[in-house]
């Protein structure tokens, strides 16, 4: 299967070169696609020198939109397997094979890496952790699947998921809604234990008001997504 | 507030809530732009169901007919929603203009690339390094 590393990047000039070189070191043959979400820093200027494929979005779409564009482009390149590696360096290159395994074995259509299945996943603490756990419990009830790390951006997507999400990837801060969408469209999602780091540089775009809005958005998704018709292209019964 | 008015108010605001949720469900209305309507419907529903709150606000504003508060809230929300959507339209306008410019520039680059080198006159400036996809 053709694999691709998808790196969404928004103002990650400080960490992007390191993320790319770490990937190259660990997986020299892995093709890389960077999606520059209309960054206002030096990210666009860096891209030609990194020796990667890239998309430069002329208008800022947010993480969900950037991933959607990257997945649609990947599909047009004939890619079967996409692994998401964030431009801030939180995702370790060494974890990639663990994410891909269940898909390679044909057991899953998508895999989410969870910091909380193992003891040393570099978990969050405090109020953020409590919120994640509460959300995870709620989502587990709605989807009927274990959801231990709902906001984790560590994902591997198999061919069915790549095809569907190139059209329908949720926008905004999409990870919880992504789980809901995949469950509703009967794609098999598995969790694996992964380790994550703190971001290598820069600041998260997730400010407090944005987090509030993201939470409201998830609340809405919990009601609306399970009631939606199956998306075109999803596996039917 | 009479019982009849309350029933009408609760029914209408519930209907508004359900209609907006269904529009989001059917992807006719995106989540982002549904929030202001959901908050509006929820506020109206809350005020309709909870009579005391309506009467309290009416007393506070010296309004002698409490259901008028519902009307006031509705009008206020519609005004705020209109203003909000003017902002959205403005931002989308800027995005559309940007995209239009990018398309024109892309097309020009495409022409430059497909032109045979001999066809270009010696006085043409060298094209700027492309920032487009690899």
Residues in chain A, overall count = 237
- pLDDT tens, position by position, A123-141: 677 788 888 889 999 999 9
ipTM over 0.90: no
pLDDT of residue B117: 65
Nearest CB to A224: which of B24, B35, B132? B24
CB-CB contact of A32 with A52 (8 Å):
yes
User: Best of A37, A59, A76, A223 to disrupt the B interface by mutation (most B CBs within 10 Å)?
Assistant: A59
3-state secondary structure A171-217: CCCCHHHHHHHHHHCCCCEEEEECCECCCCCCCCCCCHHHHHHHHHH
pLDDT surpassing 60 at residue B122: no
Phi, psi of A33 (to 5 degrees): -125, 120
Among the residue ranges A50-54, A93-97, A194-198, the one predicted with the least confidence is A194-198
Q: What is the pTM of this model?
A: 0.88
Among the residue ranges A41-45, A46-50, B67-71, B124-128, the one predicted with the least confidence is B124-128
Nearest CB to A55: which of B32, B99, B133? B133
CB-CB contact of A55 with B133 (8 Å):
yes
> Residue written as tokens 């990047």?
A9
Distance CA B39, CA B45 (A): 10
- pLDDT tens, position by position, A57-114: 999 999 999 999 999 999 999 999 999 999 999 999 999 999 999 999 999 999 999 9
The secondary structure of A85-103 as a DSSP string is --TTS-B-GGGHHHHHHHH
In chain A, % of residues over pLDDT 70: 97
Interface check for A62 against chain B (CB to CB < 8 A): the answer is no
In terms of Cα–Cα distance, which of B1, B14, B81, B94 is closest to B46? Answer: B14
Nearest CA in chain A to B97: A59
Residues of B in contact with A228 (CB under 8 A): 25-27
pLDDT of residue A119: 66
Start-end of H helices in chain B: 3-25, 31-49, 51-60, 67-114
In chain B, % of residues over pLDDT 70: 86
Distance CA B59, CA B41 (A): 23
Interface check for A24 against chain B (CB to CB < 8 A): the answer is no
Interface check for A56 against chain B (CB to CB < 8 A): the answer is yes
pLDDT of residue A181: 95
pLDDT of residue A110: 97
Task: Mention every residue, 6+ apart, whose C-beta is less than 8 A from residue A156.
Answer: A81, A82, A83, A84, A96, A99, A100, A103, A110, A111
Reduced to 3 states (helix: H, G, I; strand: E, B; else coil), residue A37 is coil
In terms of Cα–Cα distance, which of A6, A11, A8 is closest to A201? Answer: A11
CB contact (8 A) between residue A228 and residue B134: no
């Amino acid at each position: 299967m053709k694999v691709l590393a998808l790196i969404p990047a928004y103002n990650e000039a400080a960490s992007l070169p390191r993320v790319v070189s770490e990937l190259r070191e660990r997986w020299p043959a892995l093709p890389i696609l960077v999606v520059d979400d209309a960054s206002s820093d030096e990210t666009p200027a860096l891209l030609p020198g990194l020796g990667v494929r890239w998309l430069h979005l002329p208008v800022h779409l947010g993480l969900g939109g950037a991933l959607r564009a990257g997945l649609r482009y990947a599909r047009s390149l004939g890619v079967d397997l996409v692994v998401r590696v964030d431009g801030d360096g939180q995702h370790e290159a060494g974890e990639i094979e663990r994410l891909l395994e269940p898909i390679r074995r044909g057991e899953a259509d998508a895999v989410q890496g969870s910091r909380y299945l193992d003891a040393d996943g570099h978990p969050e603490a405090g109020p953020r952790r409590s919120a994640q756990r509460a959300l995870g419990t709620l989502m587990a009830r709605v989807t009927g699947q274990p959801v231990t790390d709902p906001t984790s951006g560590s994902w591997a997507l198999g061919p069915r998921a790549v095809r569907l999400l190139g059209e329908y990837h949720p926008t905004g801060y999409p990870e919880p809604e992504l789980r809901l969408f995949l469950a509703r469209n009967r794609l098999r999602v598995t969790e694996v234990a992964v380790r994550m780091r703190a971001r290598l540089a820069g600041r998260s775009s997730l400010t407090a008001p944005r987090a509030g809005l993201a939470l409201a958005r998830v609340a809405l998704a919990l009601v609306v997504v399970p009631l939606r018709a199956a998306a075109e292209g999803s596996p039917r019964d | 507030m009479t019982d009849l008015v309350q029933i009408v108010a609760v029914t209408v605001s519930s209907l508004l809530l359900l209609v907006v949720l269904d529009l989001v469900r059917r992807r006719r209305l995106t989540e982002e732009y549904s929030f202001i309507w959901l908050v509006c419907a929820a506020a109206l529903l809350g005020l309709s169901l909870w009579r005391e709150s309506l009467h309290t606000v009416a007393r506070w504003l010296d309004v002698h007919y409490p259901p008028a508060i519902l009307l006031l809230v509705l009008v206020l929300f519609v005004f705020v929603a209109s203003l909000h959507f003017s902002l959205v339209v403005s931002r989308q306008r800027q995005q559309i203009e940007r995209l239009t410019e990018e398309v024109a520039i892309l097309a020009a680059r495409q022409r430059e690339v497909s032109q045979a080198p001999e066809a270009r006159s010696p006085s043409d400036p060298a094209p700027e390094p492309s920032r487009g996809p690899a």
